[in-house]
């Protein structure tokens, strides 16, 4: 043990004795001198389950109050896009709000501070008067890592000035298709550029100390913020660029294109990672244990916490929130540590508590999540400095930061064309002329200039929402005082021709958008942009500035344009554009992504075999006085794609770099090099060229001898970059060295912490060994996933009329089956009018168990279906010639295995059970079955059939599936191939209907217009108990594959590209008239009963006042036929159980405190019935589909 260790122990001992002497308990986690790991372990050991779950929750500030923060131990609060304390709130307003919420957290038993998060994706973009930097695509064009550090540093200062310590940035997606609505949030189509741009993390968090362990989060102090690398992983590669869609690619492309930036971010100490809405090969990222836990936390050794996207776990089902308990379970087990709820936090708390207490989620998983969250909070110093002072408020929008943003704009602009002839470039423009025409909708619109994610989620239009300089304002400031600047947004050609303008500046582009609102299949310049270009540029010399988040279709306009500039989304500092237009600085930006000709070419990225762009990746001219610039301009004008030679160079490098470790190639330099000089240098940078003989001399020579042929060759050496797919010996040695360092550090800590870290290392090693070795996880072979041995899944067909008896009143029977068997049971939805429903039973396989949970659950379900309710003669089991018939749905390959060689297997089952077992043909398949399914039918006496089902299940248990594809089963089985049925028969109930209901002479107990009983504004439930009285667990509904028989409505709709296409599953609407005397029974205390009905049935159930019938209320039920049937049956069950009606109590009183009223100009967040403090709160301007 070294000298420093002895000193540390001595100081600790002195502090401990001093606490004893003063009579004050020494609390280790409150001691800042203790290592973070020691503090985390001490605090975690003191926490209850409720306190731990609270730390895993992030709620929106519109539902947050001081009381809620205290009562529910909320770990984090966020501001959604445009969610502010007040309109044009000052930095002081923000600080006061954040400190108020922190008061609630610090008043809890353990005093754990909350962490406030916000989107700061191009500066502190939600805050009035803050500095707005160019969006990421522009910064990718600048390609300046040192600039990124400075931008990160400035952003951190402004965010901290408003009291916020956590930002959801940077976005490190690699956008591979510009049709994606988030493409401007991506730095480039090239993963290497994205890797370099992760240096912004150093600016945001501080530079990680030398010798730090990989994966450990690092935040330097009170002027830095925790960063968030997002969205893990592959969100930029979705099919056709559709937001939140599926990324279809192999593992090699995932790891070489989309993953490298995450590895770099983790090396730089990023504190958090956000999961993506998107899927990889059909599996949702929020549910992907293999990538989130196995690769991110295991292989990449990330030790921070993983946060979900906005309502990200809700979207694991379709429609969202249809099966919330399943979503909670799946996402937490996948590795999500903190959930951006953001509204229905009590539902999340109740569901997660249920799942933990019933062993669906192990407590170790909860502890792991909370450890990671607490580690970040301790590392940030939040326990020592939970509150924000006002010392930094002047940093917001400071002149120093605006100057930095202006520099970023200058470096981000890309000059695509300069002059119609080789000897007549238009740029730089003269400042002193007679008259200048400025035209276009984007010339004098700060909102258009900044783009989405500015002040509001979708951005804004106009110049009043925040402060800055428009392009028009910058032009007026830049030109000579004697120059007349005329602004005409959309002039006609006659005006442009006859007004004596020396030249024109046309500014056009896209209107602001964010996320899915920006998905575009056309990528055209917004109106009236095309008309402005045609009218002006055919009449006067013009430079066209394109304000957009991605390349747009420009080829039709190129012949009439003299100069063309891609300005991307530059932000608030328009002077950065005029700095280059008028020659104060040279253009240096290069295209971070390929500029296509037509959308038919997409997706098209550098290195693709069909690469034929308008302007290639890496292209960018400069405004030098040398004729190099003029020659390049001429080339661009005559041949917009620049030169095929350059394309072949790029393609050649990208193809060869993956096939050879070292490549030498010699390029003859002729007059072509004059045109290609700057692009070639860019390509060389992109491909890590190690040796570059005579390049500097060549550059100088071409400037001095513009028309000479250069005889020198350029010798290029390209080294292969190691891929994340392979772990070479150097990496293994590095890991061994790091492990040795870890062991030395561990020896200096407490013995208990020693053991915990050793266990973590062993788990990581086992995880890596599993991934390296690979063992089959399915019956048909394949790769072993970290979740091996996988899940057993059985599907049994149940007569529709028997589903009610299987579920039982209030779910009592199916809940009991789940609790006793530990299996997951789900009654799958189906098309209307079907006579059978599929019940899916699944559970993790336990090879050593004689009766695994899935088989146990299947047998219990089968027994319930066959035996039915006691004395229930109205629904006898299905019979064939007096015998029971049971049908199992199995894949064809499994059915073949069940038959066995020469029928030996099925014969043995028949002999053992005295039943007939046969595999039916495809003509007997129900319409919801999968294409390769087969029915295995068992006919015989009930006892024998039950035995045969057990033998069949025991044989099929070896066919395991990865848990992640179970939702795919559900989704596919609920997509009928047949056209929708328009006319439905009347719903059939599962039991005798209730008798006549007694009428209340008073019209029933106070239902009336009480807002407590109004239907929620969203499809999912918003059940919130009073803040000081959480509802008991046995009164809370739970749904999902892991709860008890939740029937998720997996309604699948046609693509949004064809809105006229009908829904694949017909929705019907039924109304029930319910006596007001039974309002209590149907609605329940605080809406518990109606919430349960909605959850179990999957239907949308709303309660209205009676339509002309006194003493009654109308219940409207919308959903598929089976959903409506289930809801009606449950309503009848509640009324039958109610007996005499009880008097109704009023809604709970407002328990919360929120001093900031919602401004009337902002629409409020969706109403949440019964939320304490909900009537107050800050306003919101975003909808339910908001994400990060």
Positions marked active-site? 309, 515
Cβ atoms within 10 Å, residue 1056: 10
Q: By the 8 A CB rule, do 853 and 821 touch?
A: yes
Residue 110: partners with Cβ closer than 8 Å, 6 or more residues away: 43, 46, 47, 51
Answer whether 1061's CB lies under 8 Å from 983's CB: no
Instruction: For residue 506, list its beta bridge partners.
Output: 439, 544
C-alpha–C-alpha distance, residues 1101 and 664, integer Å: 70
Buried b (16+ CB within 10 A) or exposed e, 183-200: bbbbbbbbbbbbbbbbbb
718 forms beta bridges with: 663, 689
Which is nearest to 1180 in space by CA: 86, 77, 50, 11? Answer: 86
Collapsing DSSP to helix, strand or coil, 564 comes out as strand
Comparing CA positions, the residue from 1040, 1064, 1043, 1045 lying closest to residue 1054 is: 1064
Residues 6+ apart with CB under 8 A from 345: 57, 59, 63, 68, 72, 74
Kindly write down the DSSP assignment for every residue of 581-619, as one continuous string.
HTTSS------SS-B-S-GGG-S--TT-TT---SB-TT-
Q: Are 1051 and 321 in contact (CB under 8 A)?
A: no
H-helix or E-strand spanning residue 546: strand 542-547
Tokens at 484, concatenated: 């007349």
Q: Is 858 helix (H, G, I), strand (E, B) or coil?
A: helix
Nearest to 507 by CA among 414, 442, 559: 442
Helices (H), 2-79: 3-22, 36-46, 49-55, 66-71
First-to-last C-alpha distance (Å) of the chain: 47
b/e burial code for range 615-641 (CB count within 10 A of at least 16 → b): bbbbbbbbbeeebbbbbbbbbbbeebb
- Please state, in angstroms and rounded to a whole number, the distance separating the CA atoms of residues 815 and 861: 11
Q: Which residues of 1105-1134 are buried (b: 16+ CB within 10 A; e: fewer)?
A: ebeeeebbbbbebbbbbbbbbbbbbbbbbb
CA distances from 757 to 336, 733, 761, 771 (A): 21, 20, 6, 21
| C-alpha to C-alpha distance for 347 and 462, rounded to whole angstroms | 40
What are phi and psi for residue 840, nearest 5 degrees?
A: -100, 130
Can you give the three-state secondary structure of 1073-1105, one letter per residue?
EEEHHHHHHHHCHHHHHHHHHHHHHCCEEEEEE
Alpha-carbon gap, residue 1022 to 1091, rounded angstroms: 8
Contacts of 990 (CB under 8 A, 6+ apart): 801, 802, 803, 804, 805, 875, 1129
On the CB side of 65, CA atoms within 13 Å amount to 21
Contact 199, 206 (CB under 8 A): no
Distance of alpha carbon 684 from its chain centroid, rounded? 35
Helix (H, G, I), strand (E, B) or coil at 843: strand
Say what the alpha-carbon torsion angle 795, 800, 805, 808 is, to the nearest 10 degrees. Answer: 80
For residue 629, give Cα distances in angstroms to 135, 639, 1003: 27, 15, 86
Q: Please say whether the beta carbons of 1000 and 1007 come within 8 A.
A: no
């Amino acid at each position: 043990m070294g000298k420093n260790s002895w000193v540390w122990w001595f100081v600790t001992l002195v502090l401990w004795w001093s606490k004893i002497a003063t009579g004050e308990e020494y609390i280790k986690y409150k001691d800042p001198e203790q290592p973070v790991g020691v503090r985390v372990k001490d605090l975690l050991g003191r926490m209850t389950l409720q306190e731990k779950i609270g730390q895993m929750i992030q709620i929106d500030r519109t539902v947050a109050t001081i009381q809620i923060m205290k009562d529910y131990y909320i770990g984090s609060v966020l501001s959604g896009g445009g969610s502010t304390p007040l309109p044009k709130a000052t930095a002081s307003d923000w600080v006061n709000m954040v400190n108020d919420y922190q008061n609630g957290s610090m008043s809890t038993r353990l005093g754990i501070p909350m962490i406030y998060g916000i989107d700061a994706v191009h500066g502190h973009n939600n805050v009035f008067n803050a500095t707005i930097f160019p969006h990421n695509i522009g910064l990718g064009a600048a390609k300046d890592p040192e600039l990124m550090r400075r931008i990160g540093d400035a952003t951190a200062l402004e965010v901290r000035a408003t009291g916020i310590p956590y930002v959801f940035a940077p976005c490190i997606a690699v956008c591979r298709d510009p049709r994606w609505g988030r493409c401007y949030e991506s730095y480039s189509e090239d993963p290497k550029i994205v890797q370099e741009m992760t240096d912004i993390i150093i600016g945001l968090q501080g530079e990680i100390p030398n010798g730090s362990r990989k994966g450990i989060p690092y935040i330097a102090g009170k002027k830095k913020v925790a960063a968030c690398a997002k969205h893990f992983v592959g969100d930029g590669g979705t099919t056709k660029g559709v937001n939140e869609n599926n990324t279809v690619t192999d593992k090699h492309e995932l790891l070489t294109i989309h993953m490298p930036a995450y590895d770099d971010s983790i090396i730089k100490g990023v504190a958090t990672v956000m999961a993506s809405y998107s899927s990889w090969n059909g599996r949702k990222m929020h549910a992907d244990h293999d990538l989130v836990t196995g690769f991110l936390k295991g292989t990449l050794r990330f030790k921070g916490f993983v946060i979900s996207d906005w309502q990200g776990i809700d979207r694991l089902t379709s429609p969202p929130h249809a099966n919330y308990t399943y979503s909670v379970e799946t996402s937490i087990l996948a590795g999500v540590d903190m959930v951006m709820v953001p509204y229905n936090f009590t539902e999340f708390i109740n569901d997660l508590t249920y799942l933990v207490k019933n062993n669906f989620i192990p407590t170790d998983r909860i502890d792991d999540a909370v450890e990671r969250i607490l580690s970040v909070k301790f590392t940030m110093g939040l326990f020592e400095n939970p509150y924000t002072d006002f010392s930094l408020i002047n940093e917001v929008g400071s002149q120093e930061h605006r100057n930095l943003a202006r520099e970023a704009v200058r470096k981000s602009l890309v000059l695509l064309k300069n002059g119609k002839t080789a000897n007549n470039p238009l740029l730089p423009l003269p400042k002193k002329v007679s008259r200048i025409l400025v035209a276009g909708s984007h010339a004098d619109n700060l909102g258009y200039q900044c783009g989405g994610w500015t002040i509001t989620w979708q951005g804004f239009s106009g110049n009043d929402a925040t402060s800055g300089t428009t392009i028009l304002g910058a032009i007026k400031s830049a030109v000579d005082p004697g120059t007349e600047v005329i602004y005409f947004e959309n002039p006609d050609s006659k005006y442009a021709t006859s007004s004596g303008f020396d030249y024109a500046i046309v500014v056009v582009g896209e209107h602001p958008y964010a996320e899915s609102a920006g998905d575009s299949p056309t990528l055209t310049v917004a109106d009236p942009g095309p008309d402005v270009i045609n009218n002006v540029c055919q009449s006067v010399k013009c430079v066209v500035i394109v304000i957009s988040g991605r390349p747009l279709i420009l080829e039709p306009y190129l012949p009439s344009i003299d100069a063309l500039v891609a300005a991307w989304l530059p932000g608030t500092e328009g002077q950065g554009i005029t700095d280059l237009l008028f020659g104060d600085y040279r253009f240096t930006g290069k295209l971070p992504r390929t500029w296509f000709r037509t959308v038919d070419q997409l997706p098209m990225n550098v290195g693709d075999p069909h690469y034929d762009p308008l302007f290639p990746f890496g292209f960018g001219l400069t405004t030098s006085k040398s004729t190099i610039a003029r020659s390049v301009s001429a080339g661009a004008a005559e041949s917009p794609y620049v030169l095929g030679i350059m394309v072949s160079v790029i393609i050649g490098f990208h193809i060869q770099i993956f096939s050879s470790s070292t490549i030498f190639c010699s390029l003859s330099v002729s007059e072509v090099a004059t045109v290609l000089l700057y692009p070639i240098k860019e390509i060389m940078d992109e491909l890590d060229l190690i040796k570059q003989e005579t390049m500097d001399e060549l550059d100088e020579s071409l400037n001095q001898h513009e028309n000479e042929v250069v005889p020198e060759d350029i010798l290029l050496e390209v080294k292969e970059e190691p891929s994340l797919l392979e772990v070479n010996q150097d990496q293994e040695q590095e890991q061994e060295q790091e492990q040795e360092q870890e062991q030395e550090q561990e020896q200096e800590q407490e013995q208990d912490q020693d053991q915990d870290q050793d266990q973590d290392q062993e788990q990581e090693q086992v995880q890596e060994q599993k991934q390296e070795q690979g063992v089959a996880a399915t019956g048909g072979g394949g790769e072993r996933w970290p979740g091996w041995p996988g899940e057993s899944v059985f599907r049994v067909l149940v007569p529709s009329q028997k589903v009610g008896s299987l579920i039982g009143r209030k779910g009592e029977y199916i809940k009991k089956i789940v609790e006793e068997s530990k299996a997951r049971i789900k009654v799958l939805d189906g098309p209307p009018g079907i006579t059978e429903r599929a019940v899916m039973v699944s559970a993790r396989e336990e090879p050593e168990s004689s009766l695994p949970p899935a088989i146990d659950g299947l047998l219990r379900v089968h027994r319930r279906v066959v035996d039915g309710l006691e004395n229930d003669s109205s629904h006898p089991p299905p019979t064939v010639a007096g015998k029971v018939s049971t049908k199992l749905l199995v894949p064809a390959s499994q059915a073949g295995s069940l038959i066995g060689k020469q029928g030996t297997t099925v014969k043995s089952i028949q002999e053992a059970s005295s039943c007939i077992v046969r595999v039916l043909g495809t003509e007997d398949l129900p319409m919801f079955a999968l294409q390769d399914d087969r029915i295995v039918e068992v006919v015989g006496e009930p006892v024998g059939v039950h035995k045969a089902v057990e033998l069949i299940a025991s044989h099929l248990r070896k066919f395991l599936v990865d848990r992640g594809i179970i939702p795919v089963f559900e989704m596919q089985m609920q997509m009928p191939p047949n056209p929708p049925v328009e006319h439905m028969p009347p719903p059939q109930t599962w039991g005798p209907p209730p008798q006549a209901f007694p009428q209340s002479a008073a019209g029933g107990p106070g239902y009336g217009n009480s807002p407590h009983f109004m239907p929620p504004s969203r499809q999912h439930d918003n059940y919130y108990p009073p803040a000081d009285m959480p509802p008991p667990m046995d009164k809370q509904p739970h749904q999902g594959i892991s709860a008890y028989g939740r029937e998720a409505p997996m309604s699948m709709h046609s693509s949004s590209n064809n809105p006229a296409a009908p829904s694949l599953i017909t929705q019907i609407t039924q109304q029930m008239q319910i006596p007001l005397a039974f309002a209590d029974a149907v609605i329940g205390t605080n809406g518990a009963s109606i919430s349960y009905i909605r959850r179990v049935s999957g239907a949308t159930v709303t309660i209205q006042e009676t339509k002309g019938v006194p003493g009654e209320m109308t219940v409207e039920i919308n959903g598929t036929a089976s959903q409506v049937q289930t809801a009606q049956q449950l309503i009848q069950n509640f009324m039958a159980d109610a007996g005499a009606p009880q008097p109704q109590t009023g809604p709970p009183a407002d328990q919360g405190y929120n001093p900031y009223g919602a401004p009337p100009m902002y629409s409020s967040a969706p109403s949440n019935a019964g939320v304490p403090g909900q009537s107050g709160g800050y306003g919101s301007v975003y909808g339910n589909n908001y994400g990060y």
